[in-house]
């Protein structure tokens, strides 16, 4: 046993310090990024925000709307071959085919790719530290040498390097920060998301790899902080939940409208897809009803408008420049000192 006493930060622990800017308007900010990936050698251009591969968020309806603004969607791994076959080919450059790590997941992945020939693959597992997952990434890279593979989740630099070297073009970062994830409470395992992004970005970029911040963003400001910390992509679940494009019916309670939102490791998800919670495990997700929010188009405008505003505050003409122009200010210690002073005075 050992204790790492270095201070680690979440999004709530910092703010971005403004800097002198020559930008006159948010309209001057370009949010598109252009990436060429280490293994696949493919080049992609668009706005690097991804709807999470949750069955009620990563839907084909979501992909159709997000693609109009050049945002990405990780379609959930339970999407059928028939659904992929019927997908509008114009949307494909903005879609991930998602997969777990079992043999039947790989078979389903091959089936989906044969139907849609999507450029992106998302390999998703709660614990990206297992040797089994590393081996699966290698196996998938061998099967799809010309596809952009995103794999995770991990939170430390050495594993970001390991997955990059094993065949991942993008490493997904985050253990426990999601709004419907209970891994930290159930297992005590996790890592503050902002620090995880900073450390993993440094490791992956040194190998010409890329990372995706997955989880912990509850506001547009958090998305800006993730990009400012060095993330190449940002994946959103809760912020895209509750919309018309999400699966599930609209519920009414006390005169208000809601939609169901749950983690893919929750009891609700496991009962739906596997018929049980296996006797050897516990659920590591929860189910909640989130306020109904109408079309996701308004949320997209709010996120992108806010992100452009962040860039104007630090003088970043392009999203690419945001991390280079960012200085984070630590705020949590100052707040704690204020509260302590107030308690003493009282």
For residues 341 and 337, what is the distance between their CA atoms, to the nearest angstrom? 6
CA nearest to 120, candidates 147, 139, 146, 140: 147
Tell me, what DSSP letter sits at residue 29?
-
- Whole-angstrom distance, CA of residue 1 vs CA of residue 120: 39
Among 101, 297, 2, residue whose Cα is nearest residue 305: 297
- Cα dihedral across residues 247, 249, 252, 253: positive or negative: negative
Confirm whether 140 is a catalytic residue.
no
What Rg do the C-alpha atoms of the chain give, in angstroms? Answer: 20
Does 183 qualify as catalytic in the annotation? yes
Strand partners, 258: 251, 291
Q: Of these residues, 73, 183, 299, 312, which one is catalytic?
A: 183
| CA distance from start to end of the chain | 41
CB 261 within 8 A of CB 241: yes
Q: Which of 152, 229, 163 is nearest to 193 (CA)?
A: 229
CA 133 to chain centre: 19
Query: Which residue among 95, 118, 122, 181 is the active-site one?
Result: 181
Alpha-carbon separation of residue 66 from 141, 299, 324 (angstroms): 27, 10, 27
Contacts 24+ apart (CB under 8 A), 78-86: 78/273, 79/112, 81/111, 81/112, 81/114, 81/115, 82/115, 84/112, 84/115, 84/116, 84/118, 85/115, 85/116
DSSP category for residue 285: B
The residues assigned a catalytic role are 181, 183
């Amino acid at each position: 046993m050992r204790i790492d006493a270095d201070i680690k930060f979440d999004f709530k622990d910092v703010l971005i310090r403004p800097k002198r800017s020559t930008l006159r308007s948010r309209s001057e900010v370009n949010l598109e990024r252009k990436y060429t990936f280490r293994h696949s050698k493919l080049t992609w251009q668009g706005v690097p925000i991804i709807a999470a591969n949750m069955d009620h968020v990563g839907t084909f309806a979501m992909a159709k709307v997000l693609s109009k603004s050049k945002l990405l969607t990780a379609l959930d791994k339970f999407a059928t071959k028939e659904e992929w076959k019927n997908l509008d080919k114009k949307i494909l450059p903005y879609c991930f085919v998602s997969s777990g790590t079992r043999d039947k997941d790989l078979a389903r992945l091959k089936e989906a790719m044969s139907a849609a020939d999507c450029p992106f693959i998302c390999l998703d597992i709660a614990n990206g530290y297992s040797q089994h997952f590393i081996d699966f990434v290698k196996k998938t890279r061998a099967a799809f040498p010309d596809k952009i593979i995103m794999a995770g989740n991990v939170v430390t630099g050495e594993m970001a390097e390991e997955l990059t070297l094993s065949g991942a073009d993008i490493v997904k970062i985050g253990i426990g920060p999601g709004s419907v994830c209970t891994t930290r409470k159930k297992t005590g395992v996790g890592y503050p998301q902002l620090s995880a992004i900073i450390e993993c970005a440094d490791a992956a970029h040194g190998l010409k790899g890329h990372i995706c911040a997955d989880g912990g963003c509850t506001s547009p400001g958090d998305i800006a902080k993730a990009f400012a910390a060095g993330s190449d992509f940002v994946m959103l679940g809760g912020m895209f939940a509750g919309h018309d494009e999400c699966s599930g019916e609209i519920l009414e309670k006390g005169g208000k409208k809601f939609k169901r939102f749950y983690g893919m490791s929750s009891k609700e998800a496991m009962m739906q897809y596997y018929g049980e919670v296996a006797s050897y495990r516990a659920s590591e997700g929860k189910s909640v009803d989130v306020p109904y929010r109408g079309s996701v188009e308004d949320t997209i405008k709010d996120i992108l408008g806010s992100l452009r505003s962040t860039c104007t505050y630090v003088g970043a003409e392009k999203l690419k420049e945001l991390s280079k122009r960012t200085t984070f200010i630590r705020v949590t210690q100052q707040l704690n000192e204020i509260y302590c002073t107030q308690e003493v005075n009282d």
